[in-house]
Amino acid sequence: MIYDYHTVFGLIASFLGIVSFIPYLRDIFRGTTKPHPFSWFVWGLITGIGFSAQYSAGGGTGAWITGITSLECFTIAGLAFYRGEKRIVPIDWICFVLALGGLILWRLTASPLSAIIVVMLVDALAAIPTFRKSYLRPYEETVATYAIGGAGFFCTLFALASFNFATALFPAYVSLSNAGFVALLLFRRKQMRTRRR
């Protein structure tokens, strides 16, 4: 059976999306990774919305990883309530409420592109609790998950059956935000090692 390159990259992206969560789940059960429940719950919602918007805009196999990621995010959100971050501060609640409010705004959007832009804004708000926690305790996140996940979303750009601003914006954003988060974790870990010497 011969596959076109869109399907090949869609399969690679989906594979990386699945594989990226294996070390994260392992570290949750080891007790070394402490996911923030607010971030992961909202990420599950918005990747589900992103999947719907990509699919309706003709994303084809390029949308697969987004749908898979949504299911994985909801799984981690569920685990986070039992094994995740317990130190919830006021800014976490503010970001959570604003993110949920952004989802209401998404319902008022009239186009897939508008929906994706709103989803990206909501994602950024949802990330703040995890970024705050990780800045203080960078060893409570699994670097490999974000690195592999970012690579998967980068591959998605080559898997899109219809490459346009609406279909490419969300995977490009997720790929870049994951890369930025990896850089933050590595930088903070290096800082902490230096201070211990």
- H or E stretch at 128: helix 112-136
Range of the domain at 29: 5-196
C-alpha Rg value of the chain to the nearest Å: 17
Cα–Cα distance between 150 and 177 in angstroms, integer? 8
- pLDDT, residue 78, reads 93
Q: How many domains does the chain have?
A: 1
| 138 token code pair | 């960078």
| 136 token code pair | 């203080």
- pLDDT, residue 1, reads 47
Cα–Cα distance between 154 and 178 in angstroms, integer? 10
pLDDT in tens, the chain (197 residues): 455 777 788 788 888 888 999 999 999 999 999 999 999 999 898 878 777 766 776 666 666 777 888 888 999 999 998 898 888 889 899 988 888 887 787 777 767 778 778 878 888 999 999 999 999 999 999 999 999 989 988 988 887 777 777 778 888 998 999 999 999 999 999 999 888 76
Q: List the one residue out of 41, 98, 18 whose CA is nearest residue 106.
A: 98
- For residue 107, what are the contacts with CB-CB under 8 A and spacing of at least 6? none
What pTM value is reported for the model?
0.83
Cα–Cα distance between 145 and 186 in angstroms, integer? 13
Cα–Cα distance between 70 and 43 in angstroms, integer? 7
